[in-house]
């Protein structure tokens, strides 16, 4: 199940998002990249990885969309607390970012990018915390044809 979910997420991010770019321009790709880079960078940093370049890419994605990211949470030595702070940031502190975006599809693309990484972190066999269903719903709302994330 985990492999199938990861495959679907990678399929969306790497193959299907270019078709959206052709339809609606690079803003959707930038929004997806923003969510993906921001979540990858913060979740990785919370677990001790060096992610400055990934977070710099997130800042560049935000700038290209004309939005400003809130200050990143401070990370300490407690990986559990740092991971919780990163998740809180992603789910709550980015609200002003989404409000500044120009379309609902941009917001959904950012959400798909973020939740793809959250699913990797939170998934356990038989329990994806509802993220597969959410990703499937968001992909359908964006207009990605044939999305089966929730199946």
Structure confidence at residue 149 (pLDDT): 42
Residue with tokens 């991971």, as numbered in its chain: 83
First to last CA, the chain: 10
Average pLDDT over residues 137-142: 82
Average pLDDT over residues 57-80: 95
Structure confidence at residue 139 (pLDDT): 80
Alpha helices per DSSP H over 1-151: 2-11, 17-24, 26-46, 52-65, 79-88, 95-99, 104-122, 131-142
Instruction: Say how many residues make up the chain.
Output: 151
Structure confidence at residue 137 (pLDDT): 83
More confident of the two residues 126 and 36: 36
């Amino acid at each position: 199940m985990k492999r199938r979910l990861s495959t679907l997420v990678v399929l969306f991010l790497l193959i299907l998002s270019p078709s959206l770019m052709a339809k609606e321009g690079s803003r959707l790709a930038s929004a997806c990249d923003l969510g993906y880079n921001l979540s990858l960078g913060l979740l990785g940093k919370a677990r001790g990885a060096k992610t400055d370049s990934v977070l710099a890419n997130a800042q560049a994605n935000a700038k290209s969309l004309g939005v400003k990211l809130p200050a990143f949470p401070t990370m300490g030595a407690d990986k559990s607390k740092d991971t919780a702070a990163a998740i809180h940031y992603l789910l709550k502190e980015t609200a002003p970012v989404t409000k500044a975006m120009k379309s609902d599809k941009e917001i959904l693309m950012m959400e798909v990018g973020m939740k793809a990484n959250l699913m990797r972190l939170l998934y356990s066999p038989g329990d994806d915390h509802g993220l597969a269903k959410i990703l499937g719903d968001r992909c359908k709302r964006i207009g990605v044809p044939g999305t089966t994330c929730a199946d």
